[in-house]
Structure 1
Amino acid sequence: MAEKTSYAPGEPCWVELASPDVEAAEVFYGGLFGWDCASPGPQYGGYTTFTLGGTPGTEVAGLLKAADPAQPSDWICYFSVADAGATAELVRAAGGRVRVPPMDVMDLGRMAVFTDALGAGFGVWEPAAFAGARRVDEPGTLLWTELACRDVETARTFYRTVFGWEFTEEQEGGFSYTEWLLEGRSVAGMVRMDHRWPDDATPYWIPYFAVDNCDATADKGRALGGSVRVPPTDIPPGRFALMADPCGAHFMVFTPKD
């Protein structure tokens, strides 16, 4: 895909890893996806940007050190908004919580981090000089974001209020899947947690990264010290696997059907 330079409000635009071991994350994701790391400068507090092979203009994700060393490593999905402050008010009104209030990030934009009405964490990005990921929908880049929760009706109400999303639901073999729609276009998904999830599992957003070969990527992830939580599995759109990096951050890899 060509360089992406803008995102519509409500569209996924960035993903960011908070890890207690930044160096281990750099090695793991560099080996898995061919990502290189670039630091924009000390004024950004140690924030690192992942790029495709170190090529300028190919920013695909962010990396920062977890504030609490005991904090589990975690990916957070960000969605583009026109006004982070106004979005924070919508989140509160819909029953969510503001974890990190809207704040400026140099001249790049404005960010905030929330939990939704069910407790799933997500972020928003109000763009200025930086719109979000410069490359998507190609191997080694963000392909999809997905919410997993048990109370899909509450989630639908929350995200309709916050982002204006509508939805369509599909049933196949007793499995329910929701696609979030923005002006009629699919932008994200939601799966209803059922017996396949542990009883104590809490709602979460998770990123999908595109890969050429799901099985080979799963094997490479193991060799790099990660783990495969759900082995490569076929579904109608392609083949996916649920993986975790050496510090425990979960993510999906996906090979679309031709």
Structure 2
Amino acid sequence: MAVQPEGTPCWADASFRDVEGAKSFYGDVLGWTFGEASSEYGNYTQAYANGKAVAAVVPPMPGEEGGQSAWCLYLASPDAAATAEKVRANGGQVLMDPMKVGDFGTMLLAQEPSGAVFGVWQAGVHEGFEATAVPGAYCWGEFFTREPEKVDAFLPAVFPYRAQQMEDDAIDFRIFNLGEETVLGRMRMTDEFPPEVPSYVNVYFTVEDCDAAVAKATERGAILRFGPMSSPFGRFAALSDPQGAQFSVIDVTTTEGEMPKLTDVS
């Protein structure tokens, strides 16, 4: 797969105190298999769906063992250092300065002004997802926030996005496009979210059957947060895995209802 256009979600990983437990859980729920842990890079372990690299799991870095497990979505950049400057200039924080990872590429970790953490990846030999939108692979990502105006200003200032707002009085939802391709969403968090839940990026993984995936996940100790629910985009559900990392599953073949109307906002 070629290097992705700037701003395209290109990779996802998560750190887990119990990596073997995470591998067992996601292997069961998403059908992942795993490569060898790379001891040179903190036992970083790639996950595969039908032989294609789709994500990675890793133990916490030294000193971060007490942190909350969370999925991190990486957005493509041709120049991670330049993206870091844009993050700072537009009210975000750089949590980890651009760091070269061998000849794989260069990564940084950032936080948008309302608090959601995301990654940036400047590809080297590792270009990112080898498959998307097929069972077991990444499909979609959304910034969940209580301060949408901050995210709405920040993202198009850092990446070359064109934004559209969904015409729906019930939810405040915005999408971000690169050319003709829709690549990200932004959802306002409602009072249904406990106040202690901070802004975060919700990562969706594709499954063949949403209800079966939810049943398997909850059987393995996950907590169902929302759904399953059918939509024009697919049947989906939101979960927390046994170590607390939030993620969603979606069956993109089971759709219901008409696509929402969108209004250009930038």
TM category (shorter chain) comes to over 0.9
**In the alignment, which residue of structure 2 is the partner of 1:64?**
58
Confirm or deny: 8 A CA contact 2:42 2:59 kept in the other structure: no
Tell whether 2:139 aligns with 1:158. Answer: no
Secondary structure, in 3 states, of the residue corresponding to 2:87?
Answer: helix
Measure, in 2, the Cα distance between the counterparts of 1:128 and 1:61. Answer: 17
Confirm or deny: 8 A CA contact 2:12 2:55 kept in the other structure: yes
Amino acid paired to 1:99: L
Measure, in 1, the Cα distance between the counterparts of 2:170 and 2:133. Answer: 29
Structure 1 alignment gaps of length 5 or more:
none
**In the alignment, which residue of structure 1 is the partner of 2:261?**
none
Measure, in 2, the Cα distance between the counterparts of 1:196 and 1:182. Answer: 31
Amino acid paired to 2:179: E
Secondary structure, in 3 states, of the residue corresponding to 1:77?
Answer: strand
Match of 1:45 among 9, 18, 42: 42
Tell whether 2:230 aligns with 1:210. Answer: no
Aligned pair count? 252
Instruction: Tell me whether 159-168 or 213-222 shows the greater mean CA deviation.
Output: 159-168
**In the alignment, which residue of structure 2 is the partner of 1:6?**
3
Q: How far apart are residue 110 of structure 1 and its match?
A: 0.4
Tell whether 2:173 aligns with 1:177. Answer: yes
Secondary structure, in 3 states, of the residue corresponding to 2:172?
Answer: strand
RMSD (Å), alpha carbons: 1.4
Aligned positions of 1:1-258 closer than 5 A: 4-39=1-36, 41-53=38-50, 55=51, 58-67=52-61, 68-256=64-252, 257=254
Confirm or deny: 8 A CA contact 1:13 1:80 kept in the other structure: yes
Measure, in 1, the Cα distance between the counterparts of 2:94 and 2:9. Answer: 19
Normalising by structure 1, we get a TM-score of 0.93
- 1:29-73 alpha-carbon deviations (Å, 9 max, x no partner): 0111111111263222211000125x2xx1000111123222111
Structure 1 residues 113 and 66: CA distance shift in structure 2, 3 A: same
Confirm or deny: 8 A CA contact 1:20 1:72 kept in the other structure: no
